[in-house]
Amino acid sequence: MSVRKIGTMAAATACTLALIAGCGTTTSADKGSSGAPQQQPKCGGPNGKYKIGVSQANVAEPYRERMDEDIKKYAKKLLPQVTDVDVQDGQQNNAKQRDDVNNFITKKVDLLIISPNEAAPLTQAVKDAYNKGIPVIVLDRKVNGDQYTSFIGGDNKDIGKQAGQFVASKLLTSGGKVGEIRGLDGSTPAKERSDGFKEGIQGKKIDVVESQSGEWVRDKAQQKAEAMFKAHPDIQVMFAQGDPMAEGAYLAAQSAGLKNVKFVGIDGLPIPSGGIKAVEAGRLAATFVYPTGGKEAIEAAKKFLVDCKPVPKNQTLPTQQVTKENAAQVYTKLNQG
Amino acid sequence: MNAAKGLEEQLPGTRSNGATVIATIFKFQSLFGLVAVFILATILDPETFPRPDNLLDVVRASAENGILAVGMTMVILIGGIDLSVGSVLGMASVGISVLLAQSGFGMWPAIICVLGVGLVFGILQGIANARFKIQAFIVTLAGMQVARGIARIWSGGQGVSITYQSQGGPVSDAFAFIGGKTFGGTVPIPAIVFIVIAVLAALFLRFTTFSRHVYAIGGNEKAARLSGVPVLWTKILVFGICGLLAALAGIVHAGQLNNGDPNDGQTYELDAIAAVVIGGASLTGGRGGVLGTVAGALLVGVLRNILALRGVNSDLQLIIIGLVIVLTAGLQLLRPASMRA
């Protein structure tokens, strides 16, 4: 048995790695502010032809699918100079999304629109693109630092707060018990929506009896809600941080025979399977529109590439409360383009 | 049957030329496949694809999968499987980030510690499989859950970001070399780590007694035992090496993303198995090699790259890559009888 040989091999590996480490590496340790001198992104004016790369965190969530559609739709409508909108799916995988961005850099796209899976792991990729002179529009989720052209997104904390205020002022006017189904732990929107909700119900005798993560998806939320209804059959309002999770919780209440629970969601996607239709059908008491930013991203792209004007570094998109009264109207409005 | 056996025992040189050529093609099917895909990619995108920076990026992007696949090759050679490697990668990426960013470890102690965790995790799986005779599939299926759970607990359920001292964070700038480039900022370190591991493993599987034991166990475990091969220890060690390499891939992963995330690495085990299968190894054990696997991993990498460069729809990419895996596995049916496992 050649355990010694294995030992030698292991040592050899370690030495090789040590050598590599030692031999004058140009590391990206200078990732800090000093960085490479950034090139000024070019502006080709109205006669230019542009390729847009879209790096989407995943297409498993209907919200993101809609974002891609909005980008394509408005690119066709507002920016006829765009010859190609190339959408790549990061598959909820930071490494895959980083590779997607690298490929866009290699392909030399004229503009990158990215909705990052997570902030920290994709900061470097966004920075690389930006420093190569590619204007970068970051949608929905942020990256760290300021090495991007423009960030466009909703205000998750404010949306959570409005949801809390709605629960306090419309559903539980004399206080009561609330269950919460959060998004994926570790994601910023989940935290911000939670914090905002707490702020919205503050001082209103409303008790969040339990909070569980439904990881943004319907089936996980359904399982968690089933358990929550068993432990707390007296929950009066279920606040889910996303409409699919609210629908999952609704199904759980149905199967537990709880008819009087009210459901509040967030996202308000104007699609047949989305939250606005669920409000219209009476399954959810309310939802709050979380805009995809697709239209605003293309507007910013137009400003930047065609009009040669600066774009704001941060753009916060307002939400809209959707209840049974205005559901049909909001649905039509958001689909008009 | 006998005739085939006789043929097998002949030296390659004494075979008819045709048979030798066919045998060689099948032995290195993924290498030929890689060359074919490479040529195709160059034709499809002669401007961007063959650029050195793009090719190096392909190797870099294949590095994590390649390192996992090298370990997976060894496990598959003994007739096993390791479904835990993706989770171990996630666990290691979290581990290195926590040790560096929160526990104040130096770079080398942290790396050694995380590699040790991977090694021990693999060894434990090896013991469960070899000593207690639980099927590798089951053991590592459980290991996959356990490692994922450890990753979540270790990280507190959140991604742990690595911020360097030069950015005002706690992590020594030395660790940035893993995600960086060397030789004047041209060659990505992950690509080098991948190549070094591949070369070491290839040499290891060619020149050591241990490797003969690995092939013997995969070919016929009972016969191997009867002829004095230390089956138990060999198996345990193979799982240990696989765990170690998964941890190494996790360190590379964290270094590239400056972040350790407990959810990272999901389904990576399947990509690694795919690379091994494309590389021509038999899932029943005893046949295959590191060279084939490495070519298999690079083949998938080149394919992904050219599909992305051509702007092929993401959904279509999944289908194309799936078809390539089935096709290469199907190729094995065409092998001459003497070469089948």
Question: The CATH number of the domain where A168 resides is what?
Answer: 3.40.50.2300
Please report which confidence band the pLDDT of residue B330 belongs to, taking 50, 70 and 90 as the band edges. Answer: confident
Question: Cβ of B192 under 8 Å from any chain A Cβ?
Answer: yes
Per-residue pLDDT at B336: 66
Q: Which of B157, B158, B176 sits opposite A27 (nearest CB)?
A: B176
Per-residue pLDDT at A42: 66
Per-residue pLDDT at B179: 87
Q: Is residue A161 domain-resident? A: yes
Shortest distance between the Cα of A28 and any Cα of chain B, in A, equals 5
Per-residue pLDDT at A16: 43
Provide the domain count of chain A. 2
Alpha helices in chain A (DSSP H): 3-22, 62-78, 94-107, 119-131, 156-166, 188-201, 218-231, 243-255, 275-280, 294-305, 327-336
Name beta bridge partners: A288: A266, A321
Kindly state the tokens that stand for A169: 């002022």
Least confident of B1-15, B156-170, B282-296: B1-15
Residues A73, A91 within the same domain:
yes
Question: Cβ of A17 under 8 Å from any chain B Cβ?
Answer: yes
Alpha-carbon distance of B91 to B260, in angstroms, equals: 8
Task: Give the CATH number of domain B58-334.
Answer: 1.10.3470
Alpha-carbon distance of B123 to A152, in angstroms, equals: 48
pLDDT higher than threshold 70 for residue B89: yes
Q: Is residue A79 domain-resident? A: yes
Instruction: Give B201-230 pLDDT, tens digit per residue.
Output: 999 998 999 999 999 999 999 999 999 999
Instruction: Give A211-246 pLDDT, tens digit per residue.
Output: 999 988 899 999 999 999 999 999 999 999 999 999
**Single pTM value for the model:** 0.81
Residue B94: which residues within 8 A CB-CB, separation 6 or more? B151, B154, B155, B160, B254, B260, B261, B262
Q: How far, in whole angstroms, is CA A121 from its chain's centroid? A: 15
Q: Is residue A37 domain-resident? A: no
Please answer yes or no on whether A120 and B176 come within 8 Å at the CB atom. no
Please report which confidence band the pLDDT of residue B323 belongs to, taking 50, 70 and 90 as the band edges. Answer: very high
Q: Is residue A207 domain-resident? A: yes
Residues A254, A170 within the same domain:
yes
Which of A17, A33, A115 to mutate against chain B (most B CBs within 10 Å)? A17
pLDDT higher than threshold 80 for residue B151: yes
Per-residue pLDDT at A294: 95
Residues A187, A206 within the same domain:
yes
Q: Which of B173, B176, B259 sits opposite A121 (nearest CB)?
A: B259
DSSP string over B100-157: HHTS---HHHHHHHHHHHHHHHHHHHHHHHHTT---HHHHHHHHHHHHHHHHHHHHTT
Interface A–B counts its CB contacts (< 8 A) at: 147
Instruction: Give A239-289 pLDDT, tens digit per residue.
Output: 999 999 999 999 999 999 999 999 999 999 999 989 999 999 999 999 999
Residues A104, A168 within the same domain:
no
Please answer yes or no on whether A106 and B309 come within 8 Å at the CB atom. yes
Question: Cβ of A78 under 8 Å from any chain B Cβ?
Answer: no
Shortest distance between the Cα of A216 and any Cα of chain B, in A, equals 14
Give the number of other CB atoms < 10 A from CB of residue A134: 22
CA atoms A187, A188, A190, A191: torsion sign: positive
Alpha-carbon distance of B325 to B276, in angstroms, equals: 10
Name the DSSP letter for residue B173.
G
- Coil/strand/helix, residue A81: coil
Q: What is the mean pLDDT of chain B?
A: 89
Residues A196, A130 within the same domain:
no
Per-residue pLDDT at A114: 97
Nearest CA-CA partner of A28 in B194, B188, B192: B188
Residues A213, A114 within the same domain:
no
Residues A192, A332 within the same domain:
yes
Question: Cβ of B256 under 8 Å from any chain A Cβ?
Answer: yes
Please answer yes or no on whether A103 and B305 come within 8 Å at the CB atom. yes
Question: Cβ of B309 under 8 Å from any chain A Cβ?
Answer: yes
Residues A285, A302 within the same domain:
no
Please answer yes or no on whether A102 and B57 come within 8 Å at the CB atom. yes
Nearest CA-CA partner of B123 in B195, B71, B69: B71
| Chain B residues lying within 8 Å of A187, measured CB to CB | none
Taking only residues 38 to 77 of chain A, the set having a beta carbon closer than 8 angstroms to any beta carbon of chain B reads 59
Please answer yes or no on whether A118 and B181 come within 8 Å at the CB atom. no
Residues A297, A275 within the same domain:
no
How much is the average pLDDT of B156-174? 87
Per-residue pLDDT at A36: 42
Q: Is residue A249 domain-resident? A: yes
Q: Is residue A203 domain-resident? A: yes
Per-residue pLDDT at A237: 97
Q: Which of B189, B204, B234 sits opposite A20 (nearest CB)?
A: B189
Residues of chain A short of pLDDT 50, as ranges, are 1-3, 7-38
Question: Cβ of A15 under 8 Å from any chain B Cβ?
Answer: no
Per-residue pLDDT at B13: 44
* Predicted complex ipTM: 0.79
Residues A327, A192 within the same domain:
yes
| Chain B residues lying within 8 Å of A9, measured CB to CB | 200, 204
| Chain B residues lying within 8 Å of A103, measured CB to CB | 57, 305, 308-309
What is the residue range of A120's domain? 50-154+293-317
More confident residue, A180 or B4: A180
Residues A188, A327 within the same domain:
yes
Q: Is residue A40 domain-resident? A: no
Q: Which run of H or of E encompasses B219?
A: helix B209-219
- Cα atoms found within 13 Å of the Cα of residue B324, Cβ hemisphere only: 26
Question: Cβ of B287 under 8 Å from any chain A Cβ?
Answer: no
Q: Is residue A28 domain-resident? A: no
Domain-by-domain residue ranges, chain B?
Answer: 58-334
Residues A146, A164 within the same domain:
no
pLDDT higher than threshold 80 for residue B3: no
| Chain B residues lying within 8 Å of A84, measured CB to CB | 311
